[in-house]
Amino acid sequence: MIRQFADRAVTTLNGALSDSVTAFTLLSDTGFPAAPFDVKIDNELLLVGARAGTTCSSVSRAQGDTVAAAHDNGATIRHVITAAALRGLLPVVRYKPSDTSRQTTSFSDDPDLFFPIGANEIWQFTFVLFASAQSTTPDIKVMLNLPAGAAVGVAVHSHRTIVGGTFPTVSNGESQMTGNATGASISCGLKQAAPAGSDPPSVIAYKGVVANGGVAGNVTLQWASSGSSATPTVLLANSHLVAREIES
């Protein structure tokens, strides 16, 4: 969740607040940002999920390891920047610590390359994949495992043949790029037709935007071999992802 920020927003409670109520009224809303934002009342941190004028609602209590408490009418309310708010501004970065080998053509989740997404959040992501195989005609196919109700658009860029995009495939003689607006499977070549083991690993950039529905979960890279082979397709160590929330 991306918090909103403002400078020097301070007021007082207009009415007492119990330790369980999830709405309260500001004496003045001057200087306060649009929700969501964090406030501190006495020693408690609270996350305001919605604000209409001086009325704050959908409030999450006891944030940041503080304790929910009752607060008196006239208690000072101060807009603050919390550790959780700062973490929300940073990208998620994950990498593969070791190779993963597969010979199956059935998709399954990669154990390392995933990121969490909250309900109704929008994230931008890039997976950078280093892949190889010993077969003379290997391929890897990739797609995403998404929470129910999520929508995604992706683009794939590789220096080898790409098959399966619903967008036209663009080639400049050295690389190819395509994509689709559904997250459906896209296959990428890993080698030219050459003696086994003669080519270096292939590099594939798989990027896009996912708009989640009302169910939180993980966005996980799924991959498999495009065709049966006596030798495995390998997703190599140091393949990685960078993902950042852009709207909530």
**Three-state secondary structure call for residue 166:** coil
Distance CA 185, CA 187 (A): 7
Give the side-chain half-sphere CA count within 13 A for 239.
26
Global pTM value: 0.74
Cα torsion angle, 168, 221, 239, 244, sign: positive
Number of Cβ atoms within 10 Å of the Cβ of 189: 22
Give me the amino acid identity at 207. Answer: K
Distance CA 243, CA 232 (A): 28
Contact 190, 133 (CB under 8 A): yes
| Cis upstream peptide for 33 (omega within 30°) | no
- pLDDT tens for the chain, 248 residues long, are 788 899 989 999 999 999 999 999 999 999 999 999 999 999 999 999 999 999 999 999 999 999 999 999 999 999 999 988 887 788 999 999 999 998 888 999 999 999 999 888 999 999 999 988 766 555 788 889 999 999 998 888 876 666 655 555 555 545 556 666 666 777 777 754 444 455 577 888 999 999 999 999 999 999 988 777 667 888 999 999 999 998 76
* Cα 113 to Cα 18, 60, 120, distances in angstroms: 43, 30, 21
Which residues, other chains included, contact 59 with Cβ-Cβ below 8 Å and sequence gap of 6+?
Answer: 21, 22, 23, 24, 46, 47, 48, 49
The confidence score (pLDDT) of residue 150 equals 92
**Three-state secondary structure call for residue 243:** strand
The confidence score (pLDDT) of residue 134 equals 66
Fill in the DSSP letter of residue 226: S
The confidence score (pLDDT) of residue 53 equals 97
What tokens were used for 115? 């990121």
Distance CA 243, CA 54 (A): 35
